[in-house]
Amino acid sequence: NMLCGTYRTCCFDPKLLAANATFSYGNGTEPAVDVGYDAGSGAYAGGGPAASATCLHAHEGMATDLTVTLQDPSNSLFCQYVTGFTGSEFTPDTRVCPILDDLVGSFSQATCQSDFCPLGVDAYQVFVRQMVEFMQNNAVWLSIGFGVLLMFEVMIMTNAWRLRRSVLRTKDALVYAGNRDMESWERGGSAELMHHGGHHHGQQGGQHGKYNAYT
């Protein structure tokens, strides 16, 4: 699904956005296919094929919907039929496309776009083969890159865990110190009350002694 979504994003032919455009199959034996374009949808903003622009329309007398969809990568069901994945389609950022054009030597975005409608599923298979060959030829460097990325992620997670533990320790220390201060204050208050109480009783005892002496 990831490869198919990338293919539909990077190889989507911009000509599909031109009203009344036509495309021919690669062998030249089929008539030009129609292009669906919704003039009210506005300009194409990127981020994947426009839903209203398609290579083929199922005219009366054409083959089944499955056959038409497999020959029309602009169809929203193309990836579902090709990959068998029924979940949400992966749609990468369009900035990925020029990066692939630069890194993958056998891949040309311009060629891929020109073959998008005429070759149908065959063009997608070419794209998949190019990507697989690139990964096979650069497996070592890709592994190193993923390893470095994984190492950085582990470091970030470790630092985050240590920071959280430090924050919790500091919080516990502050709570403990606060409790100690409260206990000290309570003990000090109790001692002061006892001191005042004893002094008061002493004064009362002295007064009683004086009273007894007079009597």
Q: Do residues 27 and 71 make contact, with C-beta atoms less than 8 angstroms apart?
A: no
From residue 198, alpha-carbon distances to 190, 191, 193, 201, 211 in Å are 12, 10, 9, 5, 20
The C-alpha atoms of residue 17 and residue 171 are separated, in whole angstroms, by 60
Per-residue pLDDT at 110: 94
| 79 or 141: which leads in pLDDT | 79
d(CA 28, CA 169): 74
Q: pLDDT, tens digit, for every residue of 65-75?
A: 777 888 889 88
pLDDT(160) > 70: yes
pLDDT at residue 127 is higher than 60: yes
Q: Which residue has the higher pLDDT, 213 or 90?
A: 90
Cα-only R_g, the chain: 39
Confidence of residue 186 (pLDDT cuts 50, 70, 90): low
Q: Which residue has the higher pLDDT, 182 or 149?
A: 149
Give the pLDDT confidence of 8-35 residue by residue, as tens digits.
999 999 888 774 444 544 443 343 344 4
Tell me: the pLDDT tens digits for 36-74?
333 333 333 444 454 456 787 655 555 557 778 888 898
Confidence of residue 207 (pLDDT cuts 50, 70, 90): low
- Cα distance between residue 127 and residue 100, in whole Å: 11
pLDDT attached to residue 128 = 94
| Cα separation, 18 vs 161, whole angstroms | 54
In 104-138, which ranges are continuous DSSP H helix? Answer: 109-115, 121-137
Helices and strands in the chain, H and E counts: 7, 0
| Contact yes or no for 76/52 (Cβ under 8 A) | no
In terms of Cβ atoms closer than 10 Å to its own Cβ (0-12, 13-18, 19+), residue 107 is: buried
Q: What is the pTM of this model?
A: 0.55
pLDDT reported for residue 38: 37
